[in-house]
Amino acid sequence: MKNDVMEKKIRVAIANDHTAFEFRQPIIEYLKKTGYQVLDLGSTSAKPVDYPDYGFKIARTISDQKADLGIAICGTGIGISIAANRVHGIRCALTYEEETTRLARLHNNANVLALGARIIAPEKAVELVRIFLETPASNEERHQSRMKKLN
């Protein structure tokens, strides 16, 4: 029996600056292993690049519906999340631990998860990605009305 991920073929974009070119590898491996379709938009070397370019790239990919959800990574996650959130329809949440990751999806229907490569361990990042992808958005009216205001 195929799992839900395989049947839905959820498309997950990942974008990162130079600080996360190695950090992202366990995340990509996890995504592929668990059946997600991966769209790699990130830098693949330590050569310095500008995080806003990658924040905008992942946000446009999500807003253009070329991917369903995204993972954005820079040194702290702050800069890339600010860049992504400048694109209409993007709700990029920067998290460092489990509960805010869960609530970012559940209450805010975040469509991009931002992570800090210099802040958390790669193993922790994989766990946060798992939580982000497995948590559905709430259908409660109070959350839906807030999403309408954000849009």
Dihedral sign of CA atoms 97, 129, 143, 136 in order: negative
> Choosing from 18, 74, 88, 92, which is the catalytic residue?
74
Residue 143 confidence (pLDDT) above 70: no
The per-residue pLDDT for 7 is 56
> Comparing C-alpha atoms, which of 8, 49, 37, 17 is closest to residue 114?
17
The per-residue pLDDT for 2 is 42
Whether 107 is a known active-site residue: answer yes
> Choosing from 88, 92, 107, 143, which is the catalytic residue?
107
> Comparing C-alpha atoms, which of 130, 93, 98, 95 is closest to residue 108?
93
pLDDT band with cut points at 50, 70 and 90 for residue 105: very high
Helix, strand, or coil here: 111? Answer: coil
Whether 18 is a known active-site residue: answer no
The per-residue pLDDT for 96 is 97
The per-residue pLDDT for 137 is 86
Strand order through the sheet with 11-16 = 37-40, 11-16, 69-74, 112-116, 92-94
Helices (H) and strands (E) in the chain, counts: 7, 5
pTM above 0.85, yes or no: yes
Q: Residue 87 has which token pair?
A: 């694109």
The per-residue pLDDT for 76 is 98
Residue 147 confidence (pLDDT) above 70: no
The per-residue pLDDT for 88 is 95
> Comparing C-alpha atoms, which of 67, 75, 143, 77 is closest to residue 105?
143
pLDDT in tens, 111-131: 999 999 999 999 999 999 999
pLDDT in tens, 14-72: 999 999 999 999 999 999 999 999 999 999 999 999 999 999 999 999 999 999 999 99
Q: Is 86 left (phi over 0), alpha (psi -120 to 50) or beta?
A: alpha
The per-residue pLDDT for 1 is 33
